[in-house]
Amino acid sequence: MSTIVQKYGGTAVGTVENMQRIADEVIRKKQEGYNIVIVVSAMGKTTDNLIEMAKSISNNPCKRDLDMLMATGEQVSISLLSMIFNEKGYDAISLIGAQAGIRTEGIHTRSRIVEIDIGRVKRYLEEGKIVVVAGFQGINEFGDITTLGRGGSDTTAVALAAKLQCTCEIYTDVEGIYSVDPRLFPEAKKLDYISYEEMMEMSSLGAKVMESRSVEIACKYKIPIYVASSHKRTKGTYIKEIDKDMEQKSITGLSVSDNVLMVTISRIPYSPENISKIFGKLASQEVNIDMISQTSPQGGYVNISFTANKEDEPTVNRVMEELKNEIFTMEVKKDNNITKISVIGMGMRNEPGVASKVFHLFADNSINFKQVTTSEISISYTIDASDKQKAINVLCKAFNL
């Protein structure tokens, strides 16, 4: 009997009524002869509400306790959904991450899955049960409950599919993967297929439909992901290995992120040791650095600019204060009013001139950029947030997105 892993997001399980509809869809699949593992998120805005409660107590709550709190949201979802299946006459069992054998490592609120002991899940599937697993969570080497960060339920689902060697279906608020977020550009085109590499790049650069770690796992283990609407029976998008049937456009998609903090450090005495010290301290606090630019030495000093996530600003502030006590001349400026906009496409490997075209478009439309970084299949720009919508419109129309 074939196995399938399905994941349902927050609004899909936002009410008991919605859960009843999901259960009916899952039962239809069960009647077709599939073994089914369901991964669910917390109901609606539960996680946000739990974080708000924690923040009402402390501006910087203990992250271990925050994980303990946030993990309860998924526990509510899995227990209710399992009750619904059983009430409809289908044997089901709910499992929190630890019970499903999900082992993690790393810091609290941003842990990573390192192993899944799939034995218990397999045993329940062999007994004919629908297995309902809490997404977004696991247990670390110390026996503590941990959470996986944004999009963690996607990662849970794909990791389980990888261990079970089966397809993973992600059901969410949107009807599939679009060339750009339709809320930003209503004429955006829905894609039938997208390669793992393009989806990873889009996710890491700001697209919110899929979490980049989940796509990375799928790519590593060659697990196809199908992304579709949890509300409509419309055709979704397959994330898979590239093949000859997939259209090779120069630009497949556009990612936009407002979650950008730009930090500029000036008057750094030029030496590899100072540069290493700055980024070493940031890395030790698990601050994820994205774009980096450095000026050439002038008068024995250099300036460095880098971008990080806005939620890391308190940590960045703390590190900068520590560094000022060691590098006395350095001055720090921060800019929160920044948008990162990225063009992504496998076709860029073989088609020159994409960067030149974007530069011309920006120049013709008076859009100033602060930084540029490239990879083999993407080019990213930081621009003023006030130019975001203009840049999106210009790029989408020029590249037929």
Contact indicator for 289, 306 with CB cutoff of 8 Å: yes
- Beta-carbon neighbour count of residue 87 at 10 Å? 11
What pLDDT shows up at residue 109?
A: 92
Helix-, strand-, coil-residue percentages of the chain, each rounded to 5: 35, 25, 35
What pLDDT shows up at residue 241?
A: 85
What pLDDT shows up at residue 210?
A: 84
pLDDT in 10s for each residue of the chain, 401 residues: 699 999 998 688 999 999 999 999 999 999 999 999 999 999 989 999 999 999 999 988 999 999 999 999 999 999 999 999 999 999 999 999 999 999 999 999 989 999 999 999 999 999 999 999 999 999 999 999 999 988 899 999 999 999 999 999 999 888 899 999 988 999 999 999 999 999 988 888 877 778 888 999 999 999 999 999 888 888 899 999 876 655 567 888 999 999 899 999 999 999 889 899 999 989 988 888 888 988 888 888 999 999 998 888 999 999 999 888 888 888 899 998 999 999 998 878 777 788 888 989 999 999 998 888 888 888 999 999 999 999 999 999 999 98
pLDDT, tens only, 1-32: 699 999 998 688 999 999 999 999 999 999 99
What pLDDT shows up at residue 249?
A: 75
What pLDDT shows up at residue 33?
A: 93
Phi, psi of 69 (to 5 degrees): -70, -50
Contact indicator for 210, 198 with CB cutoff of 8 Å: no
* φ/ψ bin of 224: left (φ > 0), alpha (ψ from -120 to 50), beta (otherwise): beta
What pLDDT shows up at residue 196?
A: 92
How far apart are alpha carbons 368 and 182 in whole angstroms? 24
- Give all strands (DSSP E) within 241-368, no chain letters: 253-257, 261-269, 292-294, 301-308, 331-335, 338-344
Q: Which two tokens stand for residue 265?
A: 């450090």
What does the DSSP 8-state code read for residue 349?
G
pLDDT, tens only, 254-273: 999 998 999 999 999 998 89
What pLDDT shows up at residue 244?
A: 62
The answer to whether domain 3-172 has CATH 3.40.1160.10 is: yes
**Residue 174 burial (C-beta neighbours within 10 Å; 0-12, 13-18, 19+):** buried
| Domains of the chain by residue range | 3-172
What pLDDT shows up at residue 247?
A: 59
What pLDDT shows up at residue 31?
A: 94
What pLDDT shows up at residue 206?
A: 76
Starting at the edge strand found earlier in the chain, the sheet holding 331-335 runs: 292-294, 301-308, 261-269, 331-335
pTM: 0.83
CA 267 to chain centre: 35
Q: Which among 259, 210, 263 is positioned nearest to 238, based on CA atoms?
A: 210
What pLDDT shows up at residue 246?
A: 59
- Give all strands (DSSP E) within 128-197, no chain letters: 130-134, 137-139, 145-147, 167-172, 193-195
